[in-house]
Structure formats: structure tokens, C-alpha cells
Chains A and B, each alone.
Chain A
Amino acid sequence: MSTTAQADQLIANEWSGGTHPYRIGHRKLGMWLFIVSDALTFSALLIGYSYVRASSDQWPTPFPFYPSIIFSSVMTLCLLSSSLTMVMGVQASARRDFKAIRKWIVLTIIFGAAFIVLHLIEWKHLIDEGLGPSTLPAEWLHRWPNASPLFGAAFFGITGLHMFHVATGLIYLAVVAARAKKLKHEDVEISGLYWHFVDLVWMFVFPMIYLLSVDFTP
């Protein structure tokens, strides 16, 4: 009986206010909640894309090994490496080593910028072929006569929103790197959470958009 009462007392103390029951600050909890809601946005988009693809008579599978798959694989490598450098930045922040924080975050920004540049080149390839948000290139319509014109909307919508997140993340990281000395360790950690989330979303976009639309013909 007494142990139960003690446990009740302990829980009441932890959750009745004035403490940090999650052992994290309110800003970090806020970022986690934002990440959950943003994860739902991307899930809804990816499931919307799957819905359209499953209900279409035909869906184009246009991505050749070069340039599309090579580019998107290198982009994946860039984002994964940028996550690793961000982790190193947060580790440096735990040591309050400001020089190292700047170095690692700038490396993260370089990898992220490389991702955006490669992605824009990849977009330009497709736009030059004639792909638009609601139009397919004439050549694709020849190969897949019943193809859904929604391919462009799904592709540009999902990768575009992801690229917007990467671009926002670059600005965020640049601000964090510039103000590193004024920020608490947890604030640097929070920017890391956002950056890893952007990386995480790409782990689903890459196989679902690119690898399931690989062009097998040589």
C-alpha cells in the first residue's frame, strides 16, 4: 500500500507543473511537436501521391540511370552526410567549442546547398524534356499512352515542398552558426532536430518518387 501511495505522490509531483516531466525544455518539446505535424503533412502528400498512382490506368516510369538515379543517389549521400556533420556540430556545442560548432554547421550548410543545386539541375532536365505540373512530355505520352498527367503535380509538389524545407533549414542553420555564442546548447540541438527531420523525409521521398519510377530500358 505504502509503495503505491509513494508512486502516486511521485507522479503527482512530476506532472502537476513547475517541473520538466519530459526532461527537455519547452522549446525542444515545441520543435518535436512541429516535427510530428510536419511528418503528417508529408505522409498525407506521399499517401495522396500513392492514391493517385494506384487509381491511374498507367503511371510513367521515366527516370533513367543517368542523370536521374545517379543525381538522386548523390543527393541522398549529401543529405545523410550533412546529418552526420550536424551531429558533430551538436557534439561540439555540448563541449561549448564555438569554433568547432561553426566548422561543422558550415559543412552541413555546404552539403545542404549541394543537395539543392543538384536537385535544381535534376528539375531542369525534366522541365527541358517538357514536364510541367499538369503536362507530360510528348515522348512520355508516346511511351505510356494512358499515363496520368498528375505525375508532374505529384513530383514537383512533393520534391518542391521538401526542397523548400531544405532551403529554410539552410537559413536556420546559418542563423544558428552566426549566433552560436549567444545560444544555449539546447537551441543548437533543436536546429539539429529540424535538420535531421528534413533528412528523414527524403528517406521516404527518394524510394517512393525515384526508385519506384525507374526506367529499365537501356
Chain B
Amino acid sequence: MTTMSPERSVPINTIQITEKAAEKVSKFAADKGMEKFGLKVAVKGGGCSGLTYVLEIVEGPETDDKVIVYHGVEVYVPKKAFVFLAGTVLDFSDGLNGKGFEFTNPNAKSTCGCGTSFSV
């Protein structure tokens, strides 16, 4: 049986990026002239709530990264960070009131006002 997160029905053994987020990642990579690229999604210490999301367009995975593919974009998640991100959905909201990349993380007990950090 696959356990699903309550909010977006994402299996807890993966993370997902939406089609819109994948499009934006591809556009940013193209703007940088990168033909081979992937999206590194990680967590580091810091921020108002203690843990901060890391997003970075990189050329390829590192040795300990888990690799997931969504909408043609490779997503690299360091194994140490995966426990904090399992079941997460990465979306993108644009427009004047858009917040840019947005995380919906079922592991987050609380999130800071700007949404870039969380606690578990």
C-alpha cells in the first residue's frame, strides 16, 4: 500500500514538481545557456523556523543525491535532506502577487511568514 500525503496526494517516498514549476526551471536553465541541467532541491539549517529550502539549477547530481524525474526535469535531492522533503510538492506561482517557487511540505509543522523556512 502506498501512503499518500493528505494535501496533494504525493507518495511519501518521492517529491513532485508541478508542470508549471518544471517549465520555469527549464526556462531559467535556458536563460543561463545550460543544455544539461537538473534542479537541486535541498534543506539547510537556518531561517526563522530553523530549516530553509534550497533551490539551485545545477549541471548534474552529486554522488549521494536521489534523482527523480518530473515533466522532463531531473530533480536532485541529497539523501540527508530527503527525510525533510518526502511527500513535498514544488509549484510556481507568478504574476504581481505570485510568490515564485512554493513548497507544500507535509513534514512542516510550521512555516515562517515568507515561506522559505520551516520546522519539523
A and B pair up:
no
User: A: which residues have CB within 8 A of B?
Assistant: none
User: B: which residues have CB within 8 A of A?
Assistant: none
